[in-house]
Amino acid sequence: MADGAKGGLKATITVAMSNYLEAGSIVAGAGGLSLWVEYLKLDDIKVGLLGAVSANGFGSAVGAFIGGILVDRFGRKFIYKYDLLVYMLGVLLITLSFNFPMLLLGYIITGLAVGAGIPAAWTYISEEAPANERAARVGWGQFAWSVGPVISLLLSVLLAPLGILGSRIIFAQLFVVAAITWIMQQQIRESMIWEEERQKQAELKAKYQISKSSTKELFTIKANLHAMILLIGIYCFWNLVAGVMGYFMPYIYERVGGLTAAQANLLQAFLWILTVASTYFVFIKLGDKVNRRVLYGLGALMEIVAWIILSFAGMGKIQLMLFVILWGTAAGFGAQAFYALWAGELFHTKYRAKAQGFLFSVARIAVGLISLVVPTMITQLGFKFAGTVMIGFLLIAAIIGVAMAPETRGKTLKEIQQERYGTNY
């Protein structure tokens, strides 16, 4: 591997560490949810509120929307000066919480930081990747996203005897990792593609005295609307399911399946280990080589079958294991991986991050809304009803993704941009 490629991969991994922290914070909350419920005597409404405003819901939605705008305006590296400092404040508040308002505030601040980092991470990774390795580089971001939950959940199992102190320790380790990652991220270079585009726009403004509204173009140009339909279709609907799983799955295992907290966290950790493995062996290794429509369709089908088993076959040991194997494996090359890849490929450089911030915000708002009602839905209407709703979301994401999947393998971002917007755009 050439030195430049090695350097680019090092920067990719450094940026991808934000994904580790972001997913880790979501699952750290999930792994310790029952402990916080017991410690603070939380009812269904408060449990739903925590999920709604956290890194899994409204908090990250607001952060992503703001972060996308800032990253397009000031650069991909800009967000890394401040984002993890805010993140550290949030997880520190959670670590030290002794009442519900303090815990809620910690979740909100962490959520804002998580959301703000998402558009920067996926955009930077896409722009710095070689054309024939873009899926692989994006895959490393997905890999880090999957490792975060594994560590958080395994720590939840190991520290279970400590009760609420164990949950505090898990958030404390996220604080330490965030501090180290923040130091590393100060050393990465700015995206060269963004710098070239900024220079181009500055020259156009100086020569012709024009400055187009990239925000208006984002919602009026046909190529952008096509990309947004695809990406909202696959990510928003898939993420309604994945978001519920990311925060509530151990809670569901305990509440509906009768598992202990340790058993639930261990089972979910196994699911994420499978996701780590399939991210590497399928998405990283094959994403630049095989038909992406086929790969996406296979993953979507496996996830639908997984939820059919979970919803209608009960939560016995065999059913739970089948669910975990199917979903865990498919998630490594599922909608999130392809969303991250296509969101980086299909938009013009001048609003690539802004588009991702908007799309991620829409998805997280949707998760925030459903998180408000998931505990009550399960209690009042039963898990089969909730599962049927999840299957419906997955079907929509599968149909849209298979029908609209673009063929962009091996093309540079500039080539894709010219195909979609024209050579003079």
**pLDDT tens digit string along 20-70?**
888 888 878 777 787 888 888 888 788 878 877 777 678 888 899 999 989
Would you say residue 259 has pLDDT above 60?
Answer: yes
What span, in angstroms and rounded, lies between the C-alpha atoms of 379 and 109?
29
The Cβ-side half-sphere exposure at 133, using a 13 Å CA radius, reads 13
pLDDT band at 191 (very low <50, low <70, confident <90, very high): confident
Least Cα distance to 53 among 107, 3, 2 occurs for 107
Least Cα distance to 45 among 376, 379, 383 occurs for 376
What span, in angstroms and rounded, lies between the C-alpha atoms of 345 and 122?
10
pTM of the predicted protein model: 0.86
Give residue 413's Cα distance to chain centre: 22
CB 107 within 8 Å of CB 90: yes
pLDDT of residue 199: 85
pLDDT band at 105 (very low <50, low <70, confident <90, very high): very high
Least Cα distance to 17 among 186, 139, 182 occurs for 182
pLDDT of residue 52: 76
- If one compares 204 and 236, the residue with the highest pLDDT of the two is 236
pLDDT tens-place string over residues 208-232: 655 555 677 888 899 999 999 999 9
pLDDT band at 289 (very low <50, low <70, confident <90, very high): very high
Residue 31 to residues 153, 238, 268: CA-CA distances in angstroms? 6, 21, 9
Would you say residue 7 has pLDDT above 60?
Answer: no
What span, in angstroms and rounded, lies between the C-alpha atoms of 183 and 181?
5
- If one compares 3 and 182, the residue with the highest pLDDT of the two is 182
- Residue 314, sorted as left (phi over 0), alpha (psi -120 to 50) or beta, turns out to be left
Tell me what percent of the residues of the chain surpass a pLDDT of 90.
Answer: 43
Least Cα distance to 393 among 236, 245, 271 occurs for 236
Would you say residue 5 has pLDDT above 70?
Answer: no
Residue 5 to residues 10, 122, 258: CA-CA distances in angstroms? 9, 18, 49
CB 83 within 8 Å of CB 181: no
